[in-house]
Amino acid sequence: MDQSLRQKLIGMVEDARRLRAVLAADGSLFQGYNEQLRNLHNTHAKTLADIVDAKGWPGRMLVGEDGAAAAWMIVQQAIGLPRFMRACLEVIEAAASKGDVPRWQVALLTDRICWLEGRPQIYGTQFDWDANGELSPVPIADEASVDARRALSDLIPLIDGIRQRRTEAQQNGESAPPPAEAAARRKDFDEWAKAIGWRS
């Protein structure tokens, strides 16, 4: 195992988590894609891309379970880089087929890309604030069968996933109070997704 690389990946995720907490506390996290956070995510994505070019995907064998989770999180956070995220999904799918990353990582990244592209998600892992001010899954394709798909990806049932996500949001200061003007936020997000290249 490459302990130095493991620590580097974990450190990048911790840096992003600290900044996100600061932005959540002052409310700016909910006012579009914060420039400071975007710059940090893009810097981390470039570093990860260089790592993948040099060593391949940093999975369990190279950086351990927590290091592999950190690498995946860096991809999840790189929402301003469509080509990077799509390319990483292919690499992570290959790593999962060899057992080097857990299947849930493929599921969550797949859903994130679907959401960014404006398509219904597959596994119900992506959330936004609904009209009642609660975090709820964004639209899910064939929702009646979602728990079967989740089980194949080692995810808990959707109802438990919703409860877990709402609890995490409360603990991270992301839901008190929820962002106002949900429709305006969604419109701004849709315009951003088109401008960045996620949607035509």
Q: What is the pLDDT of residues 139-195, one digit of tens each?
A: 999 999 999 999 999 999 999 999 999 998 888 776 655 666 777 778 888 999 999
Classify residue 64 as left (phi > 0), alpha (psi -120 to 50) or beta.
Answer: left
- Interatomic CA distance for residues 163 and 160, integer angstroms: 5
* Residue range 48-58, pLDDT digits in tens: 999 999 999 99
Q: Are 140 and 122 in contact (CB under 8 A)?
A: yes
Asked whether the CA dihedral 83, 191, 113, 142 is positive or negative, the reply is negative
pTM exceeds 0.85: yes
Residue with tokens 């999962």: 96
Please write the tens of the pLDDT for every residue from 18-43: 999 898 888 887 777 889 999 999 99
